[in-house]
């Protein structure tokens, strides 16, 4: 079966492309062209057929939520609830990143619990299974790794973060650099670096990149080029190792597209605000506008418990300058495995960030909703305000918890409500303002 990118190049608008066009209120031909050029991907899988979600140029910035067990907390029912909570809160995609318990079971249960495209990182399970089988993750056999990638795709993975860009050359850049304030923070990345150093061998995911592509292409699974050397501290942002891996991933994205596989490029990580625009422009230029998946970025390192806010600020900037998919960060980041409420809070913070970014990325169409909301507030039209809110149930609950004496106002101002007084001078219809 052909992939979305191959069908688009054949001039065919697939049902998935048509669904994305409807969702984005764009033409089917625009979506087909962007998919054909590798500038938009639709995470998919012939075996599962999840909800069609478009990620890339000209589209709304999407939000990913990551869940999964740890070696300390293994509760399959909880992870399933977290998956459903993320979907209900508005996540566009989901990543299943378990490293504890029966990894096949938790993956399959989460895939079955949601309609969203689900992704994962195959190196997690590969090194877990090698450690269980041999007592040493560095004894991972490459055939075992490729068999696992195939098995996970067959289960229905719509996208897969594969660490192909780590190679002996990037490790040498890291070694010559001689320092890192945050060290290596990618579980998959550090495990692969350790494997390469222990075995004195090249990364098989890089060395046999065509084999990786051929497996994912078979299922029309999007290949997301993982960034195992991403910065885990803002002072490591754009060091030589990180930039070298980004360059390689951009090259691999082009190669994978030529082979007929849908490709994403992953970005950092931790990054100060003044570097975000440069990072995105660099990725877009080097990859011919391949979709960019930003992990945050967390924009400062001193707010544990509030990293979801730090990341939302970085994500809004990322969305503004062209990032296409952002990964949420929860309040539990750097502290604990997120619980269900952490997941909800993380998704909603990221949704706000993506919305703010899109307002500035697409000002003509992205600010219309805000104009109508402003009019509803001015006119004290509470029903319209709730209708326009990103999270209407949350807004209603807050208002209902503190009911004003005069129901046309709120308890913030009460009798001194500006909109009830002087604001009445400006009431009236704004013609042509529709969402």
pLDDT tens-digit profile of 171-182? 999 999 988 999
pLDDT tens-digit profile of 328-350? 999 999 999 999 999 999 999 99
pLDDT tens-digit profile of 361-419? 999 888 999 999 999 999 999 999 999 999 999 999 999 999 998 888 899 988 888 88
Question: Tokens for 221?
Answer: 């699974």
C-alpha gyration radius of the chain:
23
* Residue 417, pLDDT score: 87
> Residue 434 — very low, low, confident or very high, per pLDDT cuts 50/70/90?
low
> Residue 423 — very low, low, confident or very high, per pLDDT cuts 50/70/90?
low
pLDDT tens-digit profile of 39-88? 999 999 999 999 999 999 999 999 999 999 999 999 999 999 999 999 99
Question: Tokens for 267?
Answer: 């970005």
Report d(CA 76, CA 427) in Å as an integer: 53
- For the ranges 111-125, 287-301, 359-373, which has the lowest average pLDDT? 359-373
CATH number assigned to the domain covering 4-364: 3.20.20.540
- Nearest alpha-carbon partner for 42 in 25, 68, 23, 70: 23
Residue ranges of domains in the chain: 4-364, 367-426
pLDDT tens-digit profile of 2-45? 999 999 999 999 999 999 999 999 999 999 999 999 999 999 99
* Residue 428, pLDDT score: 58
* Residue 365, pLDDT score: 87
Q: How far is CA 94 from the centre of its chain?
A: 8
* Residue 412 CB partners (closer than 8 Å, separation 6+): none
- Nearest alpha-carbon partner for 308 in 17, 89, 12: 89
Under 8 Å between Cβ of 267 and 279: yes
pLDDT tens-digit profile of 141-163? 999 999 999 999 999 999 999 99
pLDDT at 422 over 70: no
pLDDT tens-digit profile of 267-280? 989 999 999 999 99
């Amino acid at each position: 079966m052909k992939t979305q990118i191959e069908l688009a190049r054949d001039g065919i608008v697939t049902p998935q492309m048509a669904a994305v066009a409807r969702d984005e209120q764009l033409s089917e031909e625009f979506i087909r062209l962007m998919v054909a050029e590798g500038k938009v991907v639709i995470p998919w899988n012939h075996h599962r057929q999840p909800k069609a979600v478009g990620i890339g140029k000209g589209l709304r910035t999407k939000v990913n939520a990551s869940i999964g067990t740890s070696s300390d907390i293994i509760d399959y029912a909880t992870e399933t609830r977290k998956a459903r909570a993320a979907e209900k809160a508005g996540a566009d995609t989901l990543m299943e990143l378990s490293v504890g318990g029966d990894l096949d079971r938790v993956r399959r249960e989460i895939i079955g619990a949601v309609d969203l495209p689900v992704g994962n990182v195959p190196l997690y399970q590969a090194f877990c299974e090698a450690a269980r089988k041999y007592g040493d993750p560095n004894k991972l056999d490459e055939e075992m790794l490729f068999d696992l990638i195939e098995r996970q795709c067959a289960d229905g993975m719509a996208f897969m973060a594969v660490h192909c860009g780590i190679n002996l050359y990037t490790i040498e850049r890291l070694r010559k650099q001689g320092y890192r304030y945050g060290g290596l923070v990618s579980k998959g990345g550090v495990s692969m670096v350790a494997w390469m150093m222990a075995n004195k061998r090249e990364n098989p995911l890089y060395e046999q990149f065509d084999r990786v592509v051929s497996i994912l292409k078979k299922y029309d699974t999007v290949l997301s080029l993982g960034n195992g050397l991403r910065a885990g501290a803002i002072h490591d942002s754009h060091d030589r190792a990180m930039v070298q891996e980004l360059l390689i991933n951009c090259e691999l994205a082009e190669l994978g597209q030529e082979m007929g596989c849908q490709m994403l490029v992953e970005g950092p990580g931790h990054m100060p605000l003044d570097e975000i625009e440069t990072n995105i422009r660099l990725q877009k230029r080097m990859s011919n506008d391949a979709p960019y998946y930003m992990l945050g970025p967390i924009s400062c390192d001193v707010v544990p418990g509030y990293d979801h806010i730090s990341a939302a600020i970085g994500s809004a900037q990322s969305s503004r300058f062209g990032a296409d998919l952002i990964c949420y960060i929860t309040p539990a980041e750097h502290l604990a495995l997120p619980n269900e409420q952490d997941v909800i809070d993380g998704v909603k913070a990221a949704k706000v960030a993506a919305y703010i970014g899109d307002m500035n990325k697409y000002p003509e169409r992205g600010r219309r909703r805000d104009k109508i909301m402003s009019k509803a507030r001015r006119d004290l039209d509470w029903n319209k305000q709730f209708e326009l809110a990103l999270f209407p149930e949350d807004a209603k609950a807050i208002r209902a918890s503190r009911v004003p004496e005069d129901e046309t106002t709120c308890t913030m101002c009460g009798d001194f409500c500006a909109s009830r007084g002087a604001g009445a001078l400006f009431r009236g219809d704004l013609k042509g303002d529709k969402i």
